[in-house]
Amino acid sequence: MPRGLTIRIPHRDVVIHALTLIGVPASTALVSAVIEATHPGHPPVQYAGLRRDEARAGKPIRVVAAIDTSGEPVRATLALSSWPLADQIIAHTSPPIYAAISTANLTAAAAGYPELSDIAARLSVQPPSRRMVDVDRHVREQAAQQIAGK
């Protein structure tokens, strides 16, 4: 490649890649940190514009707002449309569980992107109990059924 020539990957693709690595709904701050670690020098993503463009796009996988248990968008938190509805929901019990999942996923991905280990270390939390994980899954699945039935 000629010197000074850079290949610019579309914002939506780097956001989808970051969310795929994280594996659960994530704040735009975490998504930006993962993008910085995996695509150094990529220009900052304007998330509001990206989500508006995604809403109009007919793509099979879209970047969407994560939602709460009532179906309302959660501010500055993203998910992928390809995830099951229950996995796009953030319940009141979800944050520590999602932090633990993010930590595990980013730690596993650090083999290919060493910078991710620093991000995973900052997220590191006490693993949630099995009961807490089960309750959270139940709450999100119930909410998904109600939202889908609207």
Quote the tokens at residue 148.
């889908």
Give the three-class secondary structure for 39: coil
- Lowest mean pLDDT segment, chosen from 40-54, 77-91, 101-115: 40-54
* Residue 125 clears pLDDT 90, i.e. is over it: no
Beta bridge partners of 135: none
Domain boundaries, the chain: 11-149
pTM: 0.88
Query: Dihedral sign, CA of 84, 89, 90, 94?
Result: negative
Distance CA(74)–CA(90), nearest Å, equals 8
**Between residues 23 and 122, the one the model is more confident about:** 23
Q: How far is CA 3 from CA 8, 41, 69, 119, in A?
A: 15, 15, 50, 31
How much of the chain exceeds pLDDT 90, in percent? 68
Q: How many CA atoms lie within 13 A of 99 on its CB side?
A: 11
pLDDT one-digit tens code per residue, 93-102: 999 999 999 9
